[in-house]
Amino acid sequence: MKILACNSNRPLAEAVAAALHLKLATASVRRFADLEIFVEVHENVRGEDVFVIQSTSYPANDHMMELLITCDALRRASARRITAVIPYFGYARQDRKAGPRTPISAKLVANLITQAGANRVLTLDLHAGQIQGFFDIPVDNLAAEPMFARDIRSHFNGRDIMIVSPDVGGVVRARAIATRLNCDLAIIDKRRERAGVSEVMNVIGDVRGKDCILVDDIVDSGGTLCNAAVALMGNGAKSASAYITHGVLSGNAAERIAASPIECMTITDSILPTEAVLQSRNLRVFSIAPVLAEAMQRISDESSVSSLFD
Ligand code: R5P
């Protein structure tokens, strides 16, 4: 088993390698003057079970090309099996034709990864589970939900909690956590009544006096969660916190979250946290390295990955 890190999240790859008592394989990713990417693997990988760790996060296109080119290099170097470990799978939000003459980019990206030589994919909380079907190779889609449930139990011990889905699309994920924690679920129904008029946030469920915990897969601009927190507090919630798998946090999202009523937002390190995130008053980063490492070990040993979540 060999682990190779591309450039999107080296600290996570190092933590995974340390958990497996391995060293990262030596490779370099360089640029030509016109910014073309060139990858060179500096050690023999012939016949090896190789795991390439790369989140296709910002800058998404560069990180995607690094992953594709690395898979190509490994395939041509006769690696026995290549697993693309993609903690955050970018382009996942483009998983259907959103309108006439629009692409399904998540499918295109799945094709590219497969064509580049990946034999399997290991990822975390895909935006939509059915994206697994875009690949004709095995996909293990890990869930942050059991880790989040354990963390919520210890951090909110003794508090009257309620899990909240910030939109109708996230109900299944939120309900799964509420069921694990044996607590109630509320849903925020966002609606824009007319173009140019701000969104109306209807809270479905009685959140009065509750410590509300918003659960979602992605925080990008932070708009969805900040508005949801305002709506919850406006409906009498005692506090609003959040557990989100992928901290995309584009632009000034960290500042926006710091200025919101959110007590604490926990994200994972599926995407490398920026300095603004690390310094923020109410963002907290939770490492997925142990669970990724365990899943990789099980893939290598050909043992069950799903039983990790029992
Ligand atoms: C949407 O379907 C996702 O689950 C997130 O709710 C969304 O991507 C969050 O985006 P933003 O933080 O920009 O509101």
Mean pLDDT, the chain, rounded, equals: 95
309 pLDDT band (50/70/90 cuts)?
confident
Q: Kindly give the distance from the C-alpha atom of residue 160 to the centroid of ligand 1, in angstroms, as a whole number.
A: 26
Q: Tell me what pLDDT residue 193 has.
A: 66
pLDDT tens digit sequence for 70-91: 999 999 999 999 999 999 999 9
CA dist 190 and 199 (Å) reads 6
CA dist 230 and 260 (Å) reads 8
Using DSSP's 3-state secondary structure scheme, residue 140 falls into: strand
For 236-253, letters b (16+ CB in 10 Å) and e give ebbbbbbbbbbbbbeeeb
Q: What is the DSSP string of 200-224?
A: EEEEES--TT-EEEEEEEEESSSHH
For 62-99, letters b (16+ CB in 10 Å) and e give bbbbbbbbbbbbbbeeebebbbbbbbbbbbbebbeeee
Atom 1 of ligand 1: nearest residue by CA position:
218
Q: Tell me what pLDDT residue 192 has.
A: 66
Q: Tell me what pLDDT residue 117 has.
A: 98
- Name the pairing type of β-strands 161-165 and 184-191: parallel
Q: Work out which ligand 1 atom sits closest to the CA atom of 169.
A: 2
223 close to ligand 1 (CB < 6 Angstrom): yes
116 close to ligand 1 (CB < 6 Angstrom): no
CA dist 301 and 50 (Å) reads 13
Q: Kindly give the distance from the C-alpha atom of residue 227 to the centroid of ligand 1, in angstroms, as a whole number.
A: 11
Looking at the predicted structure, is the pLDDT value of residue 200 above 90?
no
Q: Which two tokens stand for residue 173?
A: 């994920």
Number of other CB atoms surrounding residue 125 within 10 Å: 25
Q: Work out which ligand 1 atom sits closest to the CA atom of 253.
A: 12
Q: Kindly give the distance from the C-alpha atom of residue 32 to the centroid of ligand 1, in angstroms, as a whole number.
A: 35
Atom 8 of ligand 1: nearest residue by CA position:
218
Q: Work out which ligand 1 atom sits closest to the CA atom of 222.
A: 12
Q: Which two tokens stand for residue 294?
A: 């365990």
Looking at the predicted structure, is the pLDDT value of residue 307 above 90?
no
Q: Which two tokens stand for residue 244?
A: 């989100």
CA dist 254 and 219 (Å) reads 10
Q: Kindly give the distance from the C-alpha atom of residue 84 to the centroid of ligand 1, in angstroms, as a whole number.
A: 25
CA dist 109 and 115 (Å) reads 10
Q: Over range 198-210, report the average pLDDT.
A: 88
- Per the residue annotation, which of 23, 97, 107, 190 is the catalytic one? 190
Q: Over range 195-220, report the average pLDDT.
A: 88
Q: Is 23 one of the catalytic residues?
A: no
Q: Tell me what pLDDT residue 190 has.
A: 83
pLDDT tens digit sequence for 139-196: 999 999 999 999 999 999 999 999 999 998 899 999 999 999 999 999 999 876 666 6
Q: Tell me what pLDDT residue 198 has.
A: 58
Q: Over range 248-269, report the average pLDDT.
A: 97
Looking at the predicted structure, is the pLDDT value of residue 296 above 80?
yes
Q: Which of 288, 310, 299 lies closest to 144 in space, CA to CA?
A: 288
Q: Over range 191-210, report the average pLDDT.
A: 80
222 close to ligand 1 (CB < 6 Angstrom): yes
CA dist 308 and 233 (Å) reads 36
CA dist 63 and 52 (Å) reads 12
Q: Over range 43-51, report the average pLDDT.
A: 98
Domains and CATH numbers, the chain: 2-143+290-309 (3.40.50.2020), 145-286 (3.40.50.2020)
* H/E run at residue 241: strand 239-247
- Best residue among 224, 230, 249 to mutate for probing ligand 1's pocket (most ligand atoms within 8 Å of CB) is 224
Atom 3 of ligand 1: nearest residue by CA position:
218
Q: Tell me what pLDDT residue 201 has.
A: 82
Number of other CB atoms surrounding residue 227 within 10 Å: 17
Q: Work out which ligand 1 atom sits closest to the CA atom of 223.
A: 14
pLDDT tens digit sequence for 109-149: 999 999 999 999 999 999 999 999 999 999 999 999 999 99
Looking at the predicted structure, is the pLDDT value of residue 100 above 80?
yes
CA dist 137 and 132 (Å) reads 9
23 pLDDT band (50/70/90 cuts)?
very high
224 close to ligand 1 (CB < 6 Angstrom): yes
Q: Work out which ligand 1 atom sits closest to the CA atom of 170.
A: 4
CA dist 35 and 29 (Å) reads 11
Percent residues over pLDDT 90 in the chain: 94
Looking at the predicted structure, is the pLDDT value of residue 197 above 70?
no
Q: Tell me what pLDDT residue 179 has.
A: 96
247 close to ligand 1 (CB < 6 Angstrom): no
Span of 193-197, 236-240, 291-295 with lowest mean pLDDT: 193-197
Which pTM was predicted?
Answer: 0.95
